[in-house]
Amino acid sequence: MRFSALVLSAFAVAACSKSAPPADTTPAGTKLGETLGMKTPESVKYDADLDVYFVSNINGNPSQKDNNGFIARVRADSTGVMTVIAEGGKNGVTLNAPKGIAIKGDTLFVSDIDALRLFNKKTGESFGEIELTRLKATFLNDVTVGPDGIYFTDTGIKFDAKGAITHPGTNMIIRFDGMRATMVASGDSLMNPNGITWIAGANGQPGKFLLAPFGGANIQTWAPGEKVPTTLTTGPGGYDGIEALANGNVLVSSWTDSTVWIAHGGTHMMPLIKNVSAPADIGVDTKRNVLAIPRFNDNKVEFYKLP
């Protein structure tokens, strides 16, 4: 994570009659607050440019094309302030069951059952969509910005009217490069892929994607061109969101045990935040070192201090 520090010389202190702000001594894992008013929140994505969180809200059945989903924007410095910037059925917007969010420039890329939808992050204006019915998309889920395009997962599942889950689709990773969408990986080895994030290479090593599958216990790595993913570490399974921190640690949320886990160095798994039922696609405020957890079944987002 990045930390800012204000270092003042004795001369500067005397001249300005100001002292450095006290260090943040909030214990790691402490709950800092919550934002209410959500409706089946699925994904939280922090944007350092605007210093806000974007939250996708399914508002009902995750497989239902009811056009009542919405995208909320929450101020990071005042998480009680929430604004709806895009809402299905209004201003020409289609949002059925929005899930993963990625940000590139001023564009929000939002997955929505079998389409990728594009919005202006400042105005909420809808300016495009990529339909993926030709790839037989069933349950588009998390989205991330990769080295050569936008990558997103298809978990392959479907919810019926009573909430029961079946798996009629294909486990897939799809890339959108600005021209067309292409399936770049598929198969049972992806274990119902859910969370995905890209980590750039360092010290001459190539970059890779981290995968958090919903249908398996392994957190995985995968790089374009590889036929199957590689196991990074193993935990409780039932994963949803995954975030890589600048210090090499990895955060992943698990529905299996209602916990957000931290994998130190990407491998040594330890529970970080417990007793958070249905923790969906988490986000991280990189300025304040804060973890945002969308509580899928409780219609709110909670915020916790990170180590």
Whole-structure pTM over 0.75, yes or no?
Answer: yes
Percent of the chain at pLDDT exceeding 90: 86
Q: Write the DSSP string, the chain.
A: ---------HHHHHHHT--PPPP--PPTT-EEEEE---SSEEEEEEETTTTEEEEEE--S-TT---S--EEEEEETT-TT-EEEEEETTSTT---SSEEEEEEETTEEEEEEBTEEEEEETTT--EEEEEE-GGGT---EEEEEEETTEEEEEE---EE-TTS-EE--S--EEEEE-SS-EEEEEESGGG-SEEEEEEE---TTPPPEEEEEESSSSEEEEE-TT-SS-EEEEE-S--EEEEEE-TTS-EEEEETTTTEEEEEETTTEEEEEE-S-SSB-B-EEETTTTEEEEEETTTTEEEEEE--
- Domain assignment present for residue 167? The answer is yes
Give the tens place of pLDDT for each residue, 265-289.
Answer: 989 999 999 999 999 999 999 999 9
Q: Name the pLDDT band for 48 (thresholds 50, 70, 90).
A: very high
- For residue 203, the model assigns a pLDDT of 84
Beta bridge partners of 75: 52
- For residue 1, the model assigns a pLDDT of 38
The predicted model gives 247-271 an average pLDDT of 96
* Cα separation, 35 vs 300, whole angstroms: 6
- For residue 187, the model assigns a pLDDT of 97
Look at 17-26, 107-116, 117-126, 298-307 and tell me which has the smallest mean pLDDT: 17-26
- Domain assignment present for residue 62? The answer is yes
- Domain assignment present for residue 20? The answer is no
Q: Name the pLDDT band for 126 (thresholds 50, 70, 90).
A: very high
Please give the residue range of the domain that contains residue 63: 31-305
- Domain assignment present for residue 7? The answer is no
Mean pLDDT (the chain, rounded)? 92
Please state the domain count of the chain. Answer: 1
- Domain assignment present for residue 265? The answer is yes
Give the tens place of pLDDT for each residue, 168-202.
Answer: 999 999 999 988 999 999 999 999 999 999 999 88
Give the tens place of pLDDT for each residue, 223-245.
Answer: 999 999 999 999 999 999 999 99
Q: Name the pLDDT band for 22 (thresholds 50, 70, 90).
A: low
Distance of CA 132 to the CA centre of its chain: 21
- Domain assignment present for residue 46? The answer is yes
- For residue 5, the model assigns a pLDDT of 35
Percent of the chain at pLDDT exceeding 70: 93
- Domain assignment present for residue 26? The answer is no
- For residue 28, the model assigns a pLDDT of 80
- For residue 15, the model assigns a pLDDT of 36
The predicted model gives 98-118 an average pLDDT of 98
* Cα separation, 137 vs 156, whole angstroms: 7
Q: Kindly report the CA angle at 290 between 242 and 125, in degrees rounded to 5? A: 75
Q: Name the pLDDT band for 23 (thresholds 50, 70, 90).
A: low
Q: Name the pLDDT band for 204 (thresholds 50, 70, 90).
A: confident
- For residue 6, the model assigns a pLDDT of 31
- Domain assignment present for residue 22? The answer is no
* Cα separation, 126 vs 136, whole angstroms: 24
**Strand 193-199 vs strand 181-186: parallel, antiparallel, or unpaired?**
unpaired
Q: Please determine, for residue 13, whether its predicted confidence score (pLDDT) is greater than 80.
A: no
Is the Cβ–Cβ distance between 53 and 76 less than 8 Å? yes
- For residue 21, the model assigns a pLDDT of 52
Is the Cβ–Cβ distance between 177 and 184 less than 8 Å? no
CATH assignment of the domain containing 159: 2.120.10.30
